Amino acid sequence: MTTNFSQPVLVQLCYENVNESCIKSPYSPGSRVILYTAFGSASVVAIFGNLLVLISVLHFRQLHSPTNFLIASLACADFLVGVTVMPFSLVRSVESCWYFGSQFCTLHSCCDVAFCYSSLLHLCFISIDRYIAVTDPLVYSTKFTVSVAGICLCISWILPIVYSGAVFSTGISDDGMEEFVSALNCIGGCQIVVNQDWVLINFLLFFIPTLVMIILYGKIFLVAKVQAKKIESTSGKPESSSESYKARVARRERKAAKTLGITVIAFMISWLPYTIDTLIDAFMGFITPAYIYEICCWGAYYNSAINPLIYALFYPWFRKAIKLILSGEVLKNSSSTIVLLSE
């Protein structure tokens, strides 16, 4: 007769010798190196890529337009995600522990939500801007002025900050889930629990602006298709100077709308898995494994690093601006008047 003795499982804690410490579930050393590299590089690109967008738009006078101010403000939101959210989420995701205190956990979550919805509102207003520019390009400059863009910027920043601050500071998002929250409560954890009502509200706050963007960009591309056909039908025929100017303006606005449409699609692809996962989790008893949740989170975070890469691929003026910034040409007194794009 033989007896099997089971080996005791070594349990790692986030804080050794602390009774209420969370259990640590670390990855293997090789996996940790890969994750730190992948997530850390995304944070670096989000910080420096969006910083380049900000410097480009704010420094070069030729880029001072309502659309570009919206793009710069969107880059600011993505920059703040790279600075205030991604580095701390990186440690939490790889080490499976939160080492920055409970109060900063709340602040971190508040920043996460605020900058996410800020980006979404920026993209929504950009789609409205592009819709006006494509459908009525000759009067666009009188409709979407710098002051109108300023109002859009204020809304895009104030509403998300007030909303996230109110939700997380009052704790109303976890009403009715006190037992579940107390079960999760341990030292070294940063789990923000949201009840079903607030999950639905968050989903609607994501879905409604996204639906507006889809409808507007659908109309934009229909109008662009009609305009392209008109230009093709008149090709080879003599054009007056005013008709030639209209064609150039329409072509330029369509190209800008296409680029920003790609930005919107990238945002939806990045954020949709996370949004659907939180919706399913709230109604299915939080069944999502931790690693799946982290993948969805980082898929959303990666969007902050994607936007500068899109601009670099599709905006010649951004590529020129990067060269001037990195070469130090922007330090010259006359650099702000450099022409980056032709009319």
**Count of C-beta atoms within a 10 Å radius of residue 174:** 16
Query: CA-to-CA distance for 153 and 205, rounded, in angstroms?
Result: 17
Measured CA distances, 190 to 101, 107, 122, 152, 220 (Å): 9, 11, 28, 33, 42
Summarize pLDDT for 285-326 with one digit per residue, the tens.
777 887 888 888 899 999 899 988 888 888 888 889 999 999
Report the distance separating Cα 182 and Cα 266, nearest Å.
37
pLDDT score recorded for residue 2:
44
Q: What is the mean pLDDT of the chain?
A: 83
pLDDT at 52 over 90: yes
Tokens standing for 340? Answer: 């980056």
Look at residue 235 in the predicted model and tell me its pLDDT.
56
Q: What is the pLDDT of residue 231?
A: 61
- CATH superfamily of the 26-232+268-331 domain: Rhodopsin 7-helix transmembrane proteins (1.20.1070.10)
* Range with the poorest average pLDDT among 7-21, 82-96, 317-331: 7-21
Structure tokens at 49: 């890529």
Helices (DSSP H) in the chain: which residue ranges? 29-59, 66-80, 86-95, 102-135, 140-143, 146-170, 178-184, 196-234, 241-284, 290-301, 303-314, 316-326
The pTM of this model reads 0.85
| pLDDT cut 70: percent of the chain above it | 84
Q: How far apart are CA 36 and CA 30, in angstroms?
A: 10
Return the domain boundaries, the chain.
26-232+268-331
**R_g over Cα of the chain:** 24
- Which tens digit of pLDDT belongs to each residue from 137-194? 778 888 889 999 999 999 999 999 999 988 887 777 666 666 666 666 788 888 777 7
335 neighbors 59 (Cβ within 8 angstroms): yes
Are 70 and 149 contacting, i.e. CB atoms less than 8 angstroms apart? Answer: yes
